[in-house]
Amino acid sequence: MAVDERAVRAEPSVVPTDADQAERVPTSRLRRITRGRGVVEILAMVWLAVIVVACVAAPLLPLPDPQGGAGEIAGAPGSGQLLGTDQLGRDILSRLLWGGRTSMLIVVATVGISMTIGLVLGVAAGYARGWSDWLITGLGDVVLAFPGLILLIVLTAVFGLSVTNLIIGLSILGTPAFLRIARAHTLTLSQREYVLAARGSGAGDVRIMMRHIAPGVFGPVAAYGLTYAAVILIAEGALSFLGLGVPPPTPTWGAMIAGGRPWIDRALHIVLVPSIVLIATVLALNFLGDERSSGDQVQRA
């Protein structure tokens, strides 16, 4: 019986397993998902860039006085002013950009202070362990357990309403979260080979924390900083409703929404315009924060 040489030389057939089929996910679908998230990320970055540039350049733009009347009361958009006027006849576009400067100041200062203090204390607690870890994390737990609204009310009652006092209060409330993130990553990084090698070579604790641990902890902490920036924007708006925000007539996005609340049935644009800007900015910060956190997890894996 003749044997077909081509049949002998042929590769044996392999029955695909579940793992093989799982790996054969349609690439077109993955590309669509990746491309979609990439577009959203680009839109988020473009939106934040436009907001930051417009607010920073507000003093150079030909805008009316944000604290003075510029036209008719509750004027509709397009009637002399691009975005209309508010309940006191002030230009909404001008107040939106100048208010964005104040809101950005609060966000940048609060996140910067909270992140710096939390990073330093978290790295120190995670690396030192022992009673130092117990003391630092205990203080953070006390702050977390203390009602934030009561703390802000106490600060307002004692020191009065101001941007500085608001930044201090929000920084105190935000530090424990950064501390916990920094401590958790420090506990992992302190057991890595390069850290153990540096310790064995006689490097000091401060040098090890600053050179080998802090750079690895900074990425996750900064990623959470974007998310916390969105929280600050929401908190500023909520505090303005309660009368604990920035004192008038200084404009902020939250104060603009709170001031236009009585006019919501007669002039919706007074509340709608700053609300859209606030919501879009919060969504952009949240999305970028989630993307950075996911990227850090993939790199560590």
Distance CA 103, CA 108 (A): 9
Q: What is the pTM of this model?
A: 0.77
Q: In degrees, to the nearest 5, what angle opens at C-alpha 184 toward C-alphas 178 and 185?
A: 95
- Categorise residue 129: left if φ over 0, alpha if ψ from -120 to 50, beta otherwise: left
Q: How far is residue 23's CA from residue 32's CA, in Å, rounded to a whole number?
A: 17
- CA atoms of 300 and 216, how far apart (whole Å): 10
* CA dihedral sign, ordered 274, 276, 279, 284: negative
Overall residue count recorded for the chain in this entry: 301
- Averaged pLDDT score across all residues of the chain: 79
Beta bridge pairs of residue 91: 85
Q: What's the CA angle centered on 84, arms 83 and 89, to 5 degrees?
A: 140
In this predicted model, what pLDDT tens digit does every residue of 222-261 receive, in sequence order? 888 888 898 888 888 788 777 777 877 788 888 888 888 8
pLDDT for residue 16: 47
Neighbouring CB atoms inside 10 A of 80's CB total: 13
| Other beta carbons less than 10 A from residue 253's beta carbon | 23
C-beta contacts of 131-135 below 8 A and 24+ residues apart: 133/183
pLDDT tens digit sequence for 152-196: 888 877 887 888 888 998 999 999 999 999 988 888 887 777 777
Tens of pLDDT, residue by residue, the chain (301 residues)? 444 544 444 444 444 444 444 444 444 444 544 455 678 888 889 999 999 999 999 888 888 888 876 567 877 787 667 788 888 888 888 889 998 898 889 999 999 999 999 999 988 888 887 788 888 888 888 888 888 878 888 887 788 788 888 899 899 999 999 999 998 888 888 777 777 787 777 777 777 778 778 888 888 898 888 888 988 888 887 887 777 778 777 888 888 888 888 888 888 888 898 889 999 999 988 888 776 665 555 445 4
Location of structure tokens 């902490």:
221
The CATH code that applies to domain 89-300 is 1.10.3720.10
Distance between CA atoms of 100 and 57, rounded to whole angstroms? 11
* Gap between the Cα atoms of 184 and 293, Å rounded: 14
Domain ranges for the chain: 89-300
**Do residues 254 and 277 make contact, with C-beta atoms less than 8 angstroms apart?**
no
Max alpha carbon distance in the chain (Å)?
104
